[in-house]
Structure 1
C-alpha cells in the first residue's frame, strides 16, 4: 500500500518497487524467525507501531534507490523518526515490553540510519557511511571479542545521540551543511566509545 501511494505521489519506478518488495520480504522472514525463537506468534501493540515504522523505512529505501528528490525522502523519514518516540511509550503503558520488541525497534533504527547515510554519502562523501555502519561494525566486533557482548547500563545520553543521528541525516537530505553531519558522527563515536570503555573495564 505504501509503495502504491508513493507511486501515485512521486512516480516511484520499478527499481524502487523492487527494493521495497525485497525489503518487505526480508523483514517478514527475519521477524518471523525472531518471533519463533522468542516463542510468540503475535505482535503486541508497540510492535505494531514498530512494524509501521519498518514499513516507512522500506519506503525510504525505495525512494533512495529510485533516485527520488529530497522532499519525499524527508517526509517519509520524518514520520518514521517521529514514530520512534511512540512505540516505547506504548510498550510501557500497555505492559507489553519485551526483548523481541526492543531488538526489533533497535534494528529498524539501524536500517533507517544505514539507508539515510548511504544517500547522504552521495551528497557529502563516503565518510558519512560511518554513521550507518557503526552499529554493524560494533556487532561484528562483538563476535570476535566476546566482552563486547556484555550488558550495558541504560544511558540516556546514548539514546539522545542515537536520536540525533536520524534527525541530522534527514536535515542533510534537506540541505544541511556537512559540518553538522560531521558533528553528529563525532558524538556517535564518543557514545560508542563510552560503551566500549565500560565493557572493557567490566570484562
Structure 2
C-alpha cells in the first residue's frame, strides 16, 4: 500500500510539471506571435515556476491521491493567467494586441465558473482546490489592475491589492479569518471584478467610460469588503462580550469578499 501511495503521489506531482510545461509552451506561442520582450518572458517564467513550486508543496502536504478534474481546469486557467501576466509585463515596452489580451483574459474568466461546477459534479471539492481557485482569481485581478492602472492611474491598484491587504490585516487581527456566511452578493462582486477590469483595459470605450467602469469595480469591492469586515467585527464583539469565549477563529478557504 505504501508503494501505491508513493506512486500516486508521483503522478499528482507530474501534473503540476505538465502545467509548468504548458505555461512555457504558451509563452513560446505568444513570443512567436508578438515577440515578447525580456520582461514578458521573465514574468511568465517566474509565474510558472512559482505556481509549480507552491502547488507541488501544497499537494505534498495535503496528501491527495488524485489531482482531480477540477484542479486540472484551474491549472489550465492558471496557465492562461501566466500568459496574461507576460502580456501585462511586456506592455510597458509595447501594447499587446487587444485581441490576444482580451482572448486570454476572457477564457480565463469563463473557466472560473467551470472548475467549481466540475468539483461539485464529481464530488471532488477540497480545501486545496478552493484555495487554488481563489489564489488564481486574486492574482488575475491584481495583474489586470496593474494593466488598467497604466491607463487610468495608480488608484486602480487598490482593486487588485485589496484582497492581499485583507490577508495581511488578518495576521494582525485573527478574527478576520473567521468563516463568513454564504453570500450571493459577495460572489457576484468577485465575478464582476475581472469582467469590469477587462472592459476598462480593452480600450474599446472612451476614456471617461473606462474610468467610470473602474470606479464602479472599486466601489463594489469596497462595499463588499466593508460589509464583511463589519460583520466579522460585530461577531467578534458579540463573542467577547458574551459569557462564553469563542475559540480562535478557524481559517477557511473563502477568506475574503473578493
Which protein has the larger Cα radius of gyration, Structure 1 or Structure 2?
2
8 Å CA contact retained: 1:3, 1:17: yes
Q: Distance in 1 between matches of 2:113 and 2:150?
A: 28
Please tell me whether residue 198 in structure 1 is matched to residue 234 in structure 2.
no
The equivalent residue for 1:29 is 53
Q: Distance in 1 between matches of 2:147 and 2:166?
A: 21
What's the C-alpha RMSD, in Å, of the aligned pairs? Answer: 1.1
TM-score normalised by structure 2 residue count: 0.76
Q: Distance in 2 between matches of 1:70 and 1:55?
A: 19
What per-residue deviation string (whole Å, max 9, x for no partner) do you get for residues 23-80 of structure 1?
1000011111111222225411000000000010000000111122433211111110
Please tell me whether residue 84 in structure 1 is matched to residue 148 in structure 2.
no
Please tell me whether residue 102 in structure 1 is matched to residue 130 in structure 2.
yes
The equivalent residue for 1:9 is 33
Q: Which has the higher helix share?
A: 1
The equivalent residue for 1:183 is 216
Q: Provide the secondary structure at the position in 2 that maps to 1:12.
A: coil
Please tell me whether residue 159 in structure 1 is matched to residue 187 in structure 2.
yes
Gaps of 5+ in 1: none
Q: Distance in 2 between matches of 1:160 and 1:8?
A: 37
Q: Following TM superposition, by how much is the alpha carbon of 1:173 offset from its aligned partner in structure 2, in angstroms? A: 1.2
What per-residue deviation string (whole Å, max 9, x for no partner) do you get for residues 83-125 of structure 1?
0010000000100000000000000000000000001000000
Q: Provide the secondary structure at the position in 1 that maps to 2:28.
A: helix
Gaps of 5+ in 2: 1-24, 237-258
Please tell me whether residue 19 in structure 1 is matched to residue 52 in structure 2.
no
What per-residue deviation string (whole Å, max 9, x for no partner) do you get for residues 163-186 of structure 1?
111001110111242011101110
Q: Provide the secondary structure at the position in 1 that maps to 2:29.
A: helix
Q: Distance in 2 between matches of 1:202 and 1:39?
A: 34
8 Å CA contact retained: 2:197, 2:213: no
Q: How many residues align?
A: 203
TM-score normalised by structure 1 residue count: 0.96
Q: Distance in 1 between matches of 2:171 and 2:30?
A: 39
Match of 1:125 among 141, 153, 165: 153
